[in-house]
Amino acid sequence: MASFNNNSDNSLPESAVPEVVIQRLPLYVRVLTQFSSSGEEVISSEQLGTRLQMTPAQIRKDLSYFGRFGKQGRGYNISILEGKLRTILGLDRTWNAAVVGMGRLGRAVVSYPGFAPEGFNILAAFDANEEIVGQSISGLKVESISKLTQSVKDHDIKIGIVTVPIDHAQEVIDALVEAGIRSILNYAPLSPQVPEGVTVRGIDPVLSLQSMTYYIK
Amino acid sequence: MASFNNNSDNSLPESAVPEVVIQRLPLYVRVLTQFSSSGEEVISSEQLGTRLQMTPAQIRKDLSYFGRFGKQGRGYNISILEGKLRTILGLDRTWNAAVVGMGRLGRAVVSYPGFAPEGFNILAAFDANEEIVGQSISGLKVESISKLTQSVKDHDIKIGIVTVPIDHAQEVIDALVEAGIRSILNYAPLSPQVPEGVTVRGIDPVLSLQSMTYYIK
């Protein structure tokens, strides 16, 4: 383990890692977890590449940003690599999130069972509609959007999930940023404006479809 | 227009364009549509970059894969660039899609109003549960998964949308590929195995969250 910890000496400053590499790391973690649960101990960049439809060279390059993980010709120790990537990504702790917009989509998000097992706890839900405020949805009492800043502070919320209609998305995102949130998961189909230092990921099935038709047109 | 059409002479074979560039093009189309609807006629790579949190150089490089769109120092004609990108992406026509898995998520997908205006028509819905087969959901009669291949042919379906639980996702994806589908939108949280020539895009909010915590940890 000592030699492993020294690996960080070889790694670049975090700002130097391309965002596209960061976005692939959770996929690596997922595949490593799958291999680990099937009893494997070592994995090659070739095996990872096959699972992720990437070349082994690309995988080795991605991982090299964070130090030296594998030994030449011997592959990666699955549990060590998985643990290291989880630490790099900040997945060795839990994160508190708030959902803004409690219409059909927001209700589906707060009832989705896939967040909590991965360490993402939705602790607050907001809506602007006074008829929805006060309702209990999936165990959460919906709060007025006017309480956002105080609630973010009270619950130590670090992630905002935006499920409002497109016409209100930018103002809600502005309010989340104002409240100190720096990570936003945006389900509204627009590209919002945010200040530097704030990361937005969009969940938009139409964009995904639009980048597949290129290959079948 | 004649000189514009000649631009394709400068472009690379489609296989040479990095996938990450293709994935950004729908974002360009969206921003161009927004600018166009606000009455703008010309846009600079600086303006595009500001909206998309990219550098102007990256934008110019992305677009250069497909020919010469802008004149030095004069920016891009919005409607011409938007039209060209829509053609490149295959968005100048409609596409038929089928949803497999008509639980809560599948029902939300077939009732989502954002697909049809963008040219994606969901024409068939499938489930393995005989109690669900035959039901009418958002105007679609749910078919047995055993009818998949015939229905894909009958409806000229080019896109499969997978909304089954994770344990059944790989077998459903195999069935879609077997039925001739080459574009799959996968909502199940796994990285499926598909043959070369088949494109899969995952919709997975957990992966998106996991690549944001890197920046706030």
Closest Cβ opposite residue B207 in set A26, A97, A193 = A26
Q: What are phi and psi of A40, to 5 degrees?
A: -75, 150
Tens of pLDDT, residues B54-111: 899 999 999 999 988 777 678 999 999 999 999 999 999 999 999 999 998 899 899 8
Tens of pLDDT, residues B157-202: 999 999 999 999 999 999 999 999 999 999 999 889 999 999 999 9
Is B145's pLDDT higher than 60? yes
pLDDT at B67: 85
Domain ranges of chain B: 2-88, 95-207
Confidence of residue B12 (pLDDT cuts 50, 70, 90): low
CATH number of the A2-89 domain: 1.10.10.10
Distance CA A112, CA B188 (A): 12
Tens of pLDDT, residues A38-60: 899 999 999 999 888 889 999 99
CATH number of the B2-88 domain: 1.10.10.10
- Cβ distance A216 to B90 less than 8 Å, yes or no, reads yes
Is A7's pLDDT higher than 50? no
pLDDT at B7: 37
Distance CA A212, CA A129 (A): 37
Percent of chain B past pLDDT 70, that is, above it, reads 92
Tell me how close the Cα of B143 comes to any Cα of chain A, in angstroms.
Answer: 23
Tens of pLDDT, residues A95-137: 999 999 999 889 989 988 899 999 999 999 999 999 999 999 9
Asked if residues A36 and A86 have their Cβ atoms less than 8 Å apart, the reply is: no
CATH number of the B95-207 domain: 3.40.50.720
pLDDT at A68: 80
Q: Any chain A CB within 8 A of the CB of B16?
A: no
Task: Give the number of beta-carbon pairs within 8 Å between A and B.
Answer: 169
Asked if residues B59 and B52 have their Cβ atoms less than 8 Å apart, the reply is: yes
Q: Any chain A CB within 8 A of the CB of B214?
A: yes
Tell me how close the Cα of A135 comes to any Cα of chain B, in angstroms.
Answer: 21
Q: Any chain A CB within 8 A of the CB of B191?
A: yes
Q: Is A1 annotated as a binding residue?
A: no
Q: Is A212 annotated as a binding residue?
A: no
Kindly report the number of other CB atoms within 10 A of residue B124's CB atom.
22
Tens of pLDDT, residues B119-139: 999 999 999 999 999 999 999
> DSSP string covering A71-137, please?
BTTTBEEHHHHHHHHHHHHT-SS-EEEEEE--SHHHHHHHH-TTSGGGTEEEEEEEES-TTTTT-EE
A84-91 mean pLDDT: 96
The C-alpha torsion from A169 through A125 and B201 to B62, rounded to 10°, is: 30
From chain A residues 140-169, the ones with a CB under 8 A of any chain B CB are 158-159, 161
Distance CA B202, CA A101 (A): 24
Confidence of residue A6 (pLDDT cuts 50, 70, 90): very low
What's the complex ipTM? 0.89
Q: Any chain B CB within 8 A of the CB of A12?
A: no
Beta-ladder partners of B200: B184
Is A11's pLDDT higher than 80? no
Q: Any chain A CB within 8 A of the CB of B190?
A: yes
Closest Cβ opposite residue B212 in set A34, A112, A201 = A201
Closest CA to A178 of A201, A150, A142: A150
Tell me how close the Cα of B80 comes to any Cα of chain A, in angstroms.
Answer: 18
Confidence of residue A8 (pLDDT cuts 50, 70, 90): very low
Percent of chain B past pLDDT 90, that is, above it, reads 77
Q: What are phi and psi of A198, to 5 degrees?
A: -105, 130
Identical fold, B2-88 and B95-207: no
Closest Cβ opposite residue A217 in set B90, B206, B208 = B90
Tell me how close the Cα of A112 comes to any Cα of chain B, in angstroms.
Answer: 10
DSSP state of B70: S
A158-175 mean pLDDT: 97
pLDDT at B6: 36
pLDDT at B3: 33
Q: Any chain B CB within 8 A of the CB of A193?
A: yes
